[in-house]
Amino acid sequence: MTLTKDQFIRDFKDTLHEEQLIKVPQATPAELFATLAKVIRKYYTPMWLDRNRNLTENKEKIAYYFSIEFLPGRMLETNLLNLGILDLVKEGFAELDIDFEEVKNTEHDMALGNGGLGRLAAAFMDSLATTGYPGFGNGLRYRYGLFKQKIIDGYQVELPDDWFGTLGNVWEIRKDHDAVEVRLFGDVYLEMNEEGNLTPNYHNSQVLRAVPYDVPQIGFQNDVVNNLRLWDVEIPEEYEADYPTVASRRAIEDITAILYPDDSTLEGKQLRLIQEYFMTSAGLQTIIQNYLKQGLPLEAIYEKVSVHINDTHPAVAPAEFMRLLVDEYGLEWDSAWTATVKTMSYTNHTILSEALEKWDAELFKKVLPRVYQIILEIDNRFVADLGRAGYDADVVNYTRIVKDDQIHMANLAIIAGHSVNGVAKLHTELLKEDTLRSFYRLYPEKFNNKTNGIVQRRWTQIAAPELSGAIDQVIGTGWRKDIHELEGLTTYLDDKEVLDNFYQVKQDAKGRLASYIKETTGFDVSTDAIFDVQVKRLHAYKRQLLNVLHIIKLYLDLKDNPDKDMIPRVFIFGAKAAPGYHFAKSVIKIINELAKLINNDDSLQGKLKVFFLENYNVSLAELIIPAADVSEQISLASKEASGTSNMKFMMTGAITLATLDGANIEIKDEVGDDNIVIFGMDKDAVYAHYQANDYHSRDLYESDATIHRVVDSFVNGTIPNIQSEGMEIYEALIQHNDEYFLLEDFHSYVQAQEKVDALYRDKDKWARMSLNNIAKSHKFTSDDTISQYAEEIWELKK
Ligand SMILES: *Cc1c(COP(=O)(O)O)cnc(C)c1O
């Protein structure tokens, strides 16, 4: 868009005056933010209208990305950058004497996600708009998102994340006219209608109103605005009288209150199922309605519509789609089925079996009686087909949807869709040869890989402006539009001046993080130390505990020998634990107590510092990641499907310290063995242990003095205030045989850390490695990942 600074200043002042009846000096940062958002909205609204009109007129095929999570973080800077007016607005603000940073920081993170899954979904929204493909998001408008993490006395405490604040979501638009009804519970009877078809009759069901709120997704300087549609729940007017009490109304509001309600109770499970169905049904209803407005035949809907199932949460989609096509629109089963399979596609995000959703059949039948019948029908036909094709009972039993009174949602998504993809090369291979191997035998053509990616604009231009400036100086600004130009940096790997400059940029970012640490914890840290960072959800397979074991070893070494020759280290953690995940919360407590012990011990001479930064989210990631020297990606090989923070760190010049897992392998392939530090068992070694059943952590503990000493410090008082948590960790490692092989990988990890120490001593070498990582990181742009989805799975046109 074209805009001058003067015009912007006029628009801004006028809006502030009209909307808030004040002038700039009286306005609070929040008022300034709200006003700026309104001005920006005026700028992009015409593009948004044009986009929708063009898509309708040209009858373009549209992909709909269904996801229970979206984790965009703050939108202000992204929107400005993508409109091409970020610098102009900053200059305008400077002229008005407004502190842009302060205004920016009043925006609450849009945190409708938990971690990588939601961040990926948000990245895809940005990249779909940027590449110009018609791809829209479909999710839930949670009132409180995940939770806000506070650390109190070392423990994680979960508070509601009131992200609407007093302003609400300044970017969304309520679309009342697109509201639909969603039906739950009750009884359903099939009756013959006048045309002689069986149609369902519902009794005593609950009818809810689903109201969409659309959030614009602005492409990078291309005038494209796509849509992220988030559904909220309301009580339909005609049923108001059914909800006479506050409690009965609140039960409805709960459907969109929080992400991942506690599912340890039956009610909690039911609530999650309702959430998943609610957003899926509402989304599919409007998709079909919009398609039919084009006057095209319903059985050919797959020519204009793709529905993508991101992880299993929206996997009820094929069954609901069948219900709509057959019951509501009268299609024959067979043509509805063909249309469904061609419309649906599915991304698997994990090989951990506990994350492949299964629903108790009784619960499912109670909440979604008609969808349940349809799933049974799909399952029956599937089993009959396999029988006719001569498959043995093993394959049938492994792949069918309904078994042992449970509904296997991944199986439904695979059978009723045309594409199944993993999210990194290794992950897709594991799906084919292990987790989903029977499906791979049945449908080899459905399987494909789409390695995850990141929005480079957010992690460089927004999160790391100094780095971006340094890149401009060396290769010009073309990379800001075409990230593959970063490769040009490889020409300067031996240019001392360039290396020094990038080194300095990293030091500056470390300085900013050091100030934040000082503000939030009171401790000083030196930017001469190695900033060693592990930020991600807390999970046993990600092995934050292995990092802790190493820190304990360093601590014990320093207590034995205060003059130990080592580059000072600052270990930085950020992680939320699922509220019901006891082990993960114990690890958080231990990190905090260990940090307290270490940070207050003057005998360590500042060689060791540990920080757990609370409430890890996208905005905090934007501060932390550009400041990292070392990127900890230390999951047990085979367990991390892809990872995306590994890519963000790489792009901002950290050296990856990693196992051969997920996308770490592809990072290594890009940068070469000399520019990454790899350790530990690979996937084959891990699987060999599973095969031979020959891992005994207690033997390692008994025979290895270092391991023994480190592990004992959880239970012998070395770390204070962790009696029960320390015991829990000890038991996990020794009594329960160390499920994620920490002790086996321990020495290899320690050696890798020693290698990091040695490498960092050679400043030029380190800077060269770092620049190499930045130069090669363009491989992981989500713009390319989404183009592959669009072309290979959804068959979209730009
Ligand atoms: C990128 C990102 C993640 C994903 O991190 P992984 O290390 O890949 O698991 C999680 N949370 C936030 C806030 C992120 O930005």
Domain residue spans of the chain: 59-74+109-452+786-793, 456-780
Is residue 233 pLDDT above 90, yes or no?
A: yes
Q: Taking all residues of the chain, what is their mean pLDDT, rounded to a whole number? A: 97
Mapped onto helix, strand or coil, the DSSP state of residue 545 is helix
**Residue 636: how many other CB atoms lie within 10 Å:** 23
CA of 116 relative to ligand 1 center, distance in Å: 5
Distance from C-alpha of 10 to C-alpha of 553, rounded to nearest angstrom: 61
- The pLDDT value recorded for residue 162 is 95
Reported as a single tens digit per residue, the pLDDT across 380-404 is 999 999 999 999 999 999 999 999 9
Residue 198: band (very low, low, confident or very high) from pLDDT cuts 50, 70, 90: confident
Output the six-digit token pair for 563. 């003059």
Is residue 241 pLDDT above 90, yes or no?
A: yes
- Mean pLDDT over 23-32 rounds to 94
Is residue 362 pLDDT above 80, yes or no?
A: yes
- The pLDDT value recorded for residue 356 is 87
Answer yes or no: are the C-beta atoms of 148 and 159 closer than 8 Å. Answer: yes
CA of 482 relative to ligand 1 center, distance in Å: 24
Pocket test for ligand 1, best of 119, 163, 625 (most atoms within 8 A of CB): 119
User: Angle, to 10 degrees, between the axis of helix 76-83 and the axis of helix 29-57?
Assistant: 50
Output the six-digit token pair for 366. 């109670």
Is residue 20 pLDDT above 90, yes or no?
A: no
Show Cβ contacts of residue 1 under 8 Å, excluding neighbours closer than 6 positions. Answer: 43, 47, 83, 84, 85, 223
Reported as a single tens digit per residue, the pLDDT across 162-171 is 999 989 999 9
Q: Nearest C-alpha to atom 8 of ligand 1 is from which residue?
A: 643
- The pLDDT value recorded for residue 1 is 81
Query: What is the position in ligand 1's atom list of the atom closest to the CA of 647?
Result: 8
Distance from C-alpha of 527 to C-alpha of 486, rounded to nearest angstrom: 27
Show Cβ contacts of residue 770 under 8 Å, excluding neighbours closer than 6 positions. Answer: 502, 503, 506, 653, 654, 655
Distance from C-alpha of 706 to C-alpha of 363, rounded to nearest angstrom: 50
Answer yes or no: are the C-beta atoms of 794 and 668 closer than 8 Å. Answer: no
CATH of 456-780, one of 2.30.30.100, 3.10.450.50, 3.40.50.2000, 3.20.20.150: 3.40.50.2000
- Mean pLDDT over 735-751 rounds to 98
Answer yes or no: are the C-beta atoms of 460 and 468 closer than 8 Å. Answer: yes
Is residue 199 pLDDT above 80, yes or no?
A: yes
Query: What is the position in ligand 1's atom list of the atom closest to the CA of 535?
Result: 7
Is residue 19 pLDDT above 90, yes or no?
A: no
Q: Nearest C-alpha to atom 11 of ligand 1 is from which residue?
A: 115
Show Cβ contacts of residue 759 under 8 Å, excluding neighbours closer than 6 positions. Answer: 655, 677, 765, 766, 769
Pocket test for ligand 1, best of 163, 352, 535, 782 (most atoms within 8 A of CB): 535
The share of the chain scoring above pLDDT 70, in percent, equals 100
Is residue 798 pLDDT above 90, yes or no?
A: no
The position carrying tokens 């086996």 is 744
Query: What is the position in ligand 1's atom list of the atom closest to the CA of 73?
Result: 13
Bridge-partner residues for 449, per DSSP? Answer: 422
CA of 71 relative to ligand 1 center, distance in Å: 10
- The pLDDT value recorded for residue 597 is 98
- The pLDDT value recorded for residue 783 is 98
Distance from C-alpha of 510 to C-alpha of 530, rounded to nearest angstrom: 10
Distance from C-alpha of 708 to C-alpha of 784, rounded to nearest angstrom: 47
Reported as a single tens digit per residue, the pLDDT across 80-99 is 999 999 999 999 999 999 99
Is residue 354 pLDDT above 80, yes or no?
A: no
Residue 324: band (very low, low, confident or very high) from pLDDT cuts 50, 70, 90: very high
Alpha helices in 403-561 (DSSP H): 409-415, 425-430, 437-442, 456-457, 465-475, 496-521, 544-560
Q: Nearest C-alpha to atom 1 of ligand 1 is from which residue?
A: 645
Reported as a single tens digit per residue, the pLDDT across 262-301 is 999 999 999 999 999 999 999 999 999 999 999 999 999 9
What φ, ψ does residue 360 adopt, rounded to 5°? -60, 125
> Is the pTM here over 0.85, yes or no?
yes
Instruction: Report the catalytic residues.
Output: 349, 536-537, 542, 644, 648
Show Cβ contacts of residue 334 under 8 Å, excluding neighbours closer than 6 positions. Answer: none
- The pLDDT value recorded for residue 194 is 84
- The pLDDT value recorded for residue 355 is 77
Residue 196: band (very low, low, confident or very high) from pLDDT cuts 50, 70, 90: confident
Residue 361: its H or E element: helix 361-367
- Mean pLDDT over 508-519 rounds to 98
Q: Nearest C-alpha to atom 10 of ligand 1 is from which residue?
A: 115
- Identify the residue with better confidence: 798 or 339: 339
Alpha helices in 600-696 (DSSP H): 618-624, 645-651, 664-671, 683-692
Show Cβ contacts of residue 421 under 8 Å, excluding neighbours closer than 6 positions. Answer: 345, 346, 347, 348, 428, 447, 448, 449, 450, 789, 793
Give yes or no on whether 59-74+109-452+786-793 and 456-780 have one common fold.
yes
Nearest C-alpha neighbor of 622 from the set 472, 769, 455, 767: 455
Answer yes or no: are the C-beta atoms of 530 and 629 closer than 8 Å. Answer: yes
- The pLDDT value recorded for residue 296 is 96
Residue 565: band (very low, low, confident or very high) from pLDDT cuts 50, 70, 90: very high
- The pLDDT value recorded for residue 175 is 97
CA of 115 relative to ligand 1 center, distance in Å: 5
Answer yes or no: are the C-beta atoms of 314 and 282 closer than 8 Å. Answer: no
- The pLDDT value recorded for residue 651 is 98
CA of 315 relative to ligand 1 center, distance in Å: 23
Query: What is the position in ligand 1's atom list of the atom closest to the CA of 542?
Result: 9
- The pLDDT value recorded for residue 481 is 97
Distance from C-alpha of 163 to C-alpha of 170, rounded to nearest angstrom: 11
- The pLDDT value recorded for residue 353 is 77
Answer yes or no: are the C-beta atoms of 407 and 375 closer than 8 Å. Answer: yes
Is residue 352 pLDDT above 90, yes or no?
A: no
Is residue 501 pLDDT above 80, yes or no?
A: yes
What's the first-to-final CA gap in the chain, in angstroms? 20
Distance from C-alpha of 787 to C-alpha of 783, rounded to nearest angstrom: 6
Distance from C-alpha of 793 to C-alpha of 419, rounded to nearest angstrom: 7
Distance from C-alpha of 689 to C-alpha of 686, rounded to nearest angstrom: 5
- Mean pLDDT over 654-678 rounds to 98
Instruction: Please tell me the total number of residues recorded for the chain in this structure.
Output: 798
Residues with CB under 6 A from ligand 1: 115-116, 119, 536, 616-618, 621, 643-645, 648
The share of the chain scoring above pLDDT 90, in percent, equals 96
- The pLDDT value recorded for residue 464 is 98
Q: Nearest C-alpha to atom 3 of ligand 1 is from which residue?
A: 116
Output the six-digit token pair for 216. 């614009």
- The pLDDT value recorded for residue 192 is 87
Reported as a single tens digit per residue, the pLDDT across 104-134 is 999 999 989 999 999 999 999 999 999 999 9
Pairing of strands 655-658, 677-678: parallel
Query: What is the position in ligand 1's atom list of the atom closest to the CA of 644?
Result: 8
Show Cβ contacts of residue 553 under 8 Å, excluding neighbours closer than 6 positions. Answer: 706, 710, 750
- Mean pLDDT over 241-247 rounds to 95
Reported as a single tens digit per residue, the pLDDT across 529-538 is 999 999 999 9
Residue 462: band (very low, low, confident or very high) from pLDDT cuts 50, 70, 90: very high
Looking at domain 59-74+109-452+786-793, does it have CATH number 3.40.50.2000?
A: yes
Nearest C-alpha neighbor of 533 from the set 618, 633, 444: 633
CA of 618 relative to ligand 1 center, distance in Å: 8
Mapped onto helix, strand or coil, the DSSP state of residue 65 is strand
CA of 389 relative to ligand 1 center, distance in Å: 44
DSSP assignment of 42-75: HHHHHHHHHHHHHHHHTT--EEEEE-S-EEEE--
Amino acid at residue number 127: S
Show Cβ contacts of residue 625 under 8 Å, excluding neighbours closer than 6 positions. Answer: 459, 463, 533, 535, 645, 648, 649, 652, 654
Answer yes or no: are the C-beta atoms of 44 and 83 closer than 8 Å. Answer: yes
